[in-house]
Copies of this chain bind each other. A is one copy, B any other.
């Protein structure tokens, strides 16, 4: 686990989009961040107090989180002086960039010299077991998508937030680097060795109280040929009791695969449920989460009503409408 609270490092982010990771932390775990650190030419803000390293340290920050994605995922030479100073002042550093902190000799040396930790959250830090398929106590909900990048992480975080607000027992279980940085822990599933994928998901979602829900962050899609094996491991390692179908209705083909059609929600429902029931015969589909960002404000509700009527399941856009109706449906099973 990465130690919280964080100082969010926005560096020289050219624009707001480049600060997506920091924004996610601010949106979903504001209690995890004491402030933001911006270099002089920074073009982004997540609306937290600007702090120096010393101010953040005084405010209790334990870890400097790289909350900015450079083009190419590199660790910019312009950041180095600040990152090394942070290590000297006693911060750990965490990053989800492709290029690893540990591979930067000057950072590795400074961390070693000051007894600090570098967290590269794209790389597994645990030797996960092979899945044993044993039934676990507690309940689990998994978001599955018609495609990649349709809002599965957002759906899980929104449902978790709604359940926490209601005083229900709930934990968001990240399986990708952004989710791991938001919560401070998780499994970077796409970087796990094939034989241990399902075991990593079992490890991530252990026995729990009978009325506790894990919201497992989905990855890929059963219909996306590049990543479907990862999705499969989530379904079989996660043993979900409930599935939420995630969809982005304006795509013309599978992401990155121009020759592949999107499946219908009916196809996603049937295939996901059939596969999930191999591991958990009681699994049910409880609702539909639609990313309607490309549908106009005066049209998206009609679209959702249509999906809801077609599928006979609650259909909501959690970004526009919140996740309350999905949680209502979950609470009923």
Residue of B nearest to A221 (CB): B278
CA–CA, A222 and B274, complex, Å: 11
Q: A133 contacts which of B191, B195, B236, B260 (Cβ < 8 Å)?
A: B260
A228 touches B (CB below 8 Å): yes
**Could you tell me if B225 and A194 are in contact, using CB atoms closer than 8 angstroms?**
no
A195 CB to closest chain B CB, in angstroms?
Answer: 4
Which residues of A173-216 are within 8 A (CB) of B?
189-195, 197-199
Interface centre among A226, A227, A274 (most CB of B within 10 A): A226
Q: What is the copy number of this chain in the assembly?
A: 2
Kindly identify, within residues 237 to 267 of chain A, every residue whose CB is under 8 Å from any CB belonging to chain B.
Answer: 237, 254, 256-257, 259-260
Q: Does A134 reach chain B (CB closer than 8 Å)? A: yes
A210 to B260, alpha carbons, bound, how many Å?
22
In the complex, A25 has a CB within 8 A of chain B = no
CB neighbours of A230 from chain B (8 A):
194-195, 229
Q: Say if the beta carbon of A286 comes within 8 Å of chain B.
A: no
- Whether B133 contacts A259 by the Cβ 8 Å rule is yes
Q: Told that A133-B225, A195-B230, A198-B229 touch, could you supply 17 new A-B pairs with CB distance under 8 A?
A: A133-B254, A190-B193, A190-B195, A192-B194, A193-B194, A194-B229, A194-B233, A197-B229, A198-B227, A222-B278, A223-B278, A225-B279, A228-B275, A229-B230, A229-B233, A271-B274, A271-B275
A→B interface (CB under 8 Å): 130-135, 189-195, 197-199, 222-223, 225-233, 236-237, 254, 256-257, 259-260, 271, 274-275, 278-279
